[in-house]
Amino acid sequence: MPADGAAAAAGSADAQGDDAARHPVPADPAPGRQEQILGAVNLDRDLRITRSKLDAPVFSGVEAVIGSPFVDLLPPWDVPTVTRRLRQVLETGEPHVARVQRLRRGDGSELVVSMSILAAAAPQEGLTVSLIAMAKRLHLYAAETAIGTSLDIGETAQSLAESLLAWGDVTAIDLDFAVWTGEVVTEQPQGRIRLRRAALVPERAWPDGYLTPGADLPGDASRLLSRVIRRGDAAQPIVIPDRAAIERVLGSSRLVRALVPGDQAAGVACIPLVLEGEPPVVLGVAEVWRRADRPFEDSELFDLQELVARTSHHVDLARQHQREHTQVLALQRRLLPRSSGDTIDTASIYQPATPDSAGVGGDWVNSFPLPDGRTALVVGDVVGHGLGAAATMGQLSMEARALLSAGLAPDEVLEHLDETVSLLDEPESGLAAGYSALGSTCCIAVYDPVSHHVSLASAGHLPPILVPPDGAAGPVAIRPHPGLGTEFALREPYDVHAFAAPPGSLLALYTDGLVEDPALSIDEGIDRLTAAVSAVHPWDALQEAARRVVSALTPPRRRDDVTLLLARMIGYRKGDTATWRLPARGDAAARVRTLASELLRQWGTRDVIRDSVLLVVDELVANAVRFAGGPITVRLINAGHGLLCEVGDTGNGRPRRGPGGLLDDAGRGLHVVHALTTRWGVRWTDTGKVVWASIER
């Protein structure tokens, strides 16, 4: 803007004489005359005007008085929203750019402008508000640019409604419910369209009964609009010029209250949002309301049609993103832990970086009981955001659960996940075209409630925090290892770190979004997390404690997803477990039957259950003596749901049920175990294997 705004506009002002100061200039200047449309207002930190450059003729009647509040220039219903935006720029320094806004003139009329709010240039303090009077063609370009900046369906509809406000007094966007929810729209339904009000401007207090965003249009209104915007095979705009005509068309006082914004005379233009194709699809309808004394001209309807036509594809892109968002969130919720067990108490928090779909990423957390009575705790961070990262996250999470349930140790599970990530990154596989998960991280911990020990392995993940019941809290000391699929790095086997976690211990697993802060080092972030977790009282409800920890540590402007899993170890009481170590001799089965029989009587086990347990233990010990050799370890666990029998040996062969017949001398032992138990299986150890079997009470 020239330094002397009056001089810049002198050509126009001189031609119009003194009337220019009293009457607004027509919206369209005379041919051959340059239209002056730029203005600026400076504000102090109290949002009062300190300087004004509104000399262009188009701003005539906008009275920016030095020392008066800036909001005096606004319609009353816009004051709260604009005030919030002004203070936000003051606090953050981030500009608020190109929003359609109305300014009040002294004669009661209004001027539509594009308003940008910026922090004042140093050394001044306060704000600079830039104003561009919206010439209609310029407005078309600016509006299309603004509408395409978000992939959120609600924000896209709101931007379109704000842009249409240049042609009316109230605007609304009503979308097909399928578009609002992100469903696939391939053709126009033949019956009634269910319409959802997606946006409404300006923001104000509306009369009772009037339809506001988030509400569905009444059924008869939906039928009406779906009928009138479809004439033959093509959707066309319609104009209802005055309130009397609207009341005749709607034919219901309830519909009039729901759709007409106020009691004054009003006309409406309904412009369908059409997605071009064969056949074209109507996504919804845009409604522009204005006073009946300002009828719509043909040129204005052409401009409205052009703007809506240019931006309909943005609405469809937002619909597609909404569908992806819904799928990702459903997958994310499926992966969250459902409940705690008898031997461990867990709580988890997941917060995406942003509320829209772009913020849903690859962080996941899971805890689940293993068939042999242990509990697995898993946390991971897949590179990237969106559906590609979520699909990889889901695959890795389910694969980890399946492998852990099959008895593999944490380090072996990570080796398989490493191979999976490498395979997913091959373009020819077709599973992850255009997306790479290399460098994703994962940490797996398995808690044994009998020995009160945790086995942990990590692939590039930050160390968990352990808070023992009587000792200093701190990160678990694990050797660093590259992330998953990083073949360019030195390939080394994953380490398994085992440590004691007596009853009352608290273990925190998390992703880097919780401890990363631009103002702190990562070590300082981990120290803050350690202090926050240490402050959790043993009697605190764990889910509420997790919320407090996340609230205390999450930076105000986080750039990554935040994930936290807290696990409080409970374990079994000493009297609910028993362990015996025996040499692999022929009398081992008989000795175990004697010891187990006495223990089961002490536990008050019913005779039928006791007989089943003794028979299962006898068969498993006999197999260990015959096929494995070496010392044998037998463990009985009095679990809440039943009894768990474990027999460990030094063999490395996997027991399998053979095709043994009824009269065969051998080979029927595992058939007996299978018939008497609800589940049985094998897990591998450093010295051999453990065969376990679960028997319900």
pLDDT tens figures, 298-312: 877 887 887 887 777
Per the domain annotation, does 21 fall within a domain? yes
Residue 510 pLDDT exceeds 90? yes
DSSP one-letter code for 510:
E
Average pLDDT of the chain is 79
247-296 pLDDT tens trace? 888 888 888 888 888 777 788 888 888 777 666 777 888 889 888 778 88
- Which pLDDT belongs to residue 313? 72
Q: Which residue has the higher pLDDT, 552 or 332?
A: 552
Q: Is the pTM of this model over 0.95?
A: no
Q: Which residue has the tokens 């043909």?
A: 298
Percent of the chain residues topping a pLDDT of 90: 18
The helix (run of H) or strand (run of E) holding residue 196 is strand 195-201
Give the β-pairing of 230-231 and 96-104.
unpaired
Is the peptide bond prior to 463 cis by the omega test (within 30 degrees of 0)?
no
Pairing assessment for the beta strands 195-201 and 506-510 based on DSSP bridges:
unpaired
CB 581 within 8 A of CB 591: no
CATH number for the domain spanning 50: value is 3.30.450.20
Domain final residue, candidates 94, 109, 134 = 134
Give the tens place of pLDDT for each residue, 98-156. 777 888 888 777 787 888 999 988 788 899 999 887 655 555 555 555 565 566 777 88
Query: Pick from 529, 553, 569: which residue ends a domain?
Result: 569
Identify whether residues 429 and 508 lie together within a single domain.
Answer: yes
Q: Which two tokens stand for residue 80?
A: 């709260």
Q: What is the span of the domain harbouring residue 564?
A: 336-569
127 with 147, same domain: the answer is: no
Residue 622 has phi, psi (to 5 degrees) of: -60, -40
Give 361-390 pLDDT, tens digit per residue. Answer: 668 888 888 888 899 999 988 876 666 677
The predicted structure's pLDDT at residue 185: 61
The per-residue pLDDT for 285 is: 87
Q: What is the CATH number of the domain that holds 273?
A: 3.30.450.40
Statement to judge: residues 539 and 448 lie in one domain: yes
Specify if 331 maps to a domain: no
Number of domains in the chain: 4
Tokens of 605: 């086990």
Contacting residues for 332 by C-beta, under 8 A, at least 6 apart: 350, 360, 364, 390
527 within some domain: yes
Edge-to-edge strands, sheet with 170-176: 195-201, 170-176, 281-291, 266-275, 238-240
Task: Tell whether 242 is covered by a domain.
Answer: yes
In a domain, residue 488? The reply is yes
H or E stretch at 459: strand 453-459
Residues 534 and 391 in one domain: yes
Q: What is the CATH number of the domain that holds 370?
A: 3.60.40.10
**Which tokens hold the place of 174?**
């009503």
434 and 482: one domain? yes
Give the range among 5-14, 237-246, 636-645 with minimum mean pLDDT.
5-14
Structure tokens at 420: 């999976």
Domain-located, residue 286: yes
Residue 274 shares a structural domain with residue 299: yes
pLDDT greater at residue 454 or residue 439: 454
| Whether 196 and 107 share a structural domain | no
Say if residue 507 is in the same domain as residue 610: no
Task: Give the pLDDT confidence score for residue 19 in this predicted structure.
Answer: 38
Of the candidates 631, 633, 610, 625, which has an alpha carbon nearest to the alpha carbon of residue 692?
633
Give yes or no: residues 345 and 303 share one domain. Answer: no
- Residue 163 has which token pair? 């842009």
Q: Which residues pair with 378 in a beta bridge?
A: 366, 444
Strands 234-235 and 642-649: unpaired
pLDDT for the residue 265: 72
Complete DSSP assignment for 87-109: HHHHHH---EEEEEEEEE-TTS-
Burial class (CB in 10 A: 0-12, 13-18, 19+), 656: exposed
pLDDT category of residue 27 using cuts at 50, 70 and 90? very low
- Measured torsion, CA atoms of residues 353, 354, 356, 357, in degrees rounded to the nearest 10: -20
Cα 505 from Cα 498, distance rounded (Å): 15
652 touches 665 (CB < 8 A): no
Using an 8 Å Cβ cutoff, are 377 and 565 in contact? yes
Q: Of the given ranges (52-66, 166-180, 231-245, 539-553), which has the lowest mean pLDDT?
A: 231-245
Closest CA to 506 of 459, 552, 474, 551: 474
Contact status, residue 573 vs residue 557, Cβ threshold 8 Å: no
C-alpha to C-alpha distance for 84 and 201, rounded to whole angstroms: 16
In a domain, residue 71? The reply is yes
Model pLDDT for residues 641-664, shown as the tens digit of each residue: 788 999 988 887 777 776 655 544
Q: Are residues 197 and 144 in the same domain?
A: yes
- pLDDT, residue 15, reads 36
The helix (run of H) or strand (run of E) holding residue 369 is strand 361-369
Domain co-membership, 130 together with 182:
no
Greatest Cα pair distance in the chain: 119
pLDDT of residue 431 exceeding 50, the answer is no
CATH of the domain at 587: 3.30.565.10
pLDDT number for residue 253: 82
- In percent, the amount of the chain with pLDDT more than 70 equals 78
Of the segments 8-12, 274-278, 296-300, 356-360, which one has the largest average pLDDT value?
296-300
Predicted pLDDT at 198 = 87
The runs of H, that is alpha helices, within 31-152 are: 79-92, 136-147
Contact between 155 and 321 under an 8 Å Cβ cutoff? The reply is no
C-alpha Rg value of the chain to the nearest Å: 35
**Separation between Cα atoms, residue 393 and residue 399, nearest integer Å:** 10
Q: Render pLDDT for 313-331 as a digit per residue (tens, 0 to 9).
A: 777 777 776 666 666 666 6
Q: What is the chain's length?
A: 697
Please give the pLDDT value at position 279: 67
Boundary residue ending a domain (326, 347, 373): 326
One domain, residues 180 and 317? yes
